[in-house]
Amino acid sequence: MSEQKLFYEYWAKAGLIAAIFILLLLFLNSKAPIGSFEWLYWLSLPLYMIHQFEEYVYPGGFKEEMNKIFLRGENTREVLTDKMILIINIGLIWILTPVLIVLGNISIIFPVILMTLVAFNGFVHVIASIRFRRYNPGLIVSLIVNIPLGLYVLIGLGLTAMASIIELFYGILFGSILHVLLFVVLGVRSRKTNRVSTSEM
């Protein structure tokens, strides 16, 4: 097995180990007070890694579920590839999360974007579950963690006036647009893939 395939196979499993380590740091050696908004921003990272573990390891199947939704008939091509999964999950979660938290020192809008991404993703899982009337990988952590955490922080930032209505508006707007763009990309890839598959028949 090549190094690339090994990375595809084990990144989410490594993420669970990293999540446990980060959680220990947050509870035992955190500079931010436990329970503070800043602490909750950082908490979202390991919790999201656990969410990824549910999606891709146990019970897993998120990639297959998404390809089933976006592809038609007997199309065996992939819309959501291993490469895309890495770009989205490592790029937008493992890397972007700390970046947005640090940028929070410049503007509260950046943490609002982060928590919008967390909550938005959770709602997507719930809506998909209702729409297709079945469990989808990531649903459980979405219900227990993503949605409650995201909404708690967003509402809390507003109630404590740490974020103004305008800052909340723009943060939620940008975070929502970023998440929607992911589905736009998948939708475009889906049309192209289905078109190619049809022409080959």
Predicted local distance difference test score (pLDDT) of residue 183: 85
Query: Distances in Å between the alpha carbon of 95 and those of 78, 114, 127, 162?
Result: 25, 12, 27, 25
Predicted local distance difference test score (pLDDT) of residue 122: 97
In contact, 149 and 76? CB cutoff 8 Å: no
Structure confidence by residue, pLDDT tens digits, 62-94: 998 888 877 654 555 778 889 889 989 999 899
| Residue 194: band (very low, low, confident or very high) from pLDDT cuts 50, 70, 90 | low
Other CB atoms within a 10 A radius of the CB of residue 82 amount to 16
CA distance 113 to 96: 11
Predicted local distance difference test score (pLDDT) of residue 193: 66
Structure confidence by residue, pLDDT tens digits, 103-128: 999 999 999 999 999 999 999 999 99
Which range is most confident: 8-12, 19-23, 60-64, 81-85? 19-23
Predicted local distance difference test score (pLDDT) of residue 133: 93
Predicted local distance difference test score (pLDDT) of residue 41: 98
Q: Percentage of the chain with pLDDT > 90?
A: 73
| Residue 50: band (very low, low, confident or very high) from pLDDT cuts 50, 70, 90 | very high
Q: CA geometry: angle at 128 spanning 193 and 9, to 5°?
A: 60
The whole-model pTM stands at 0.91
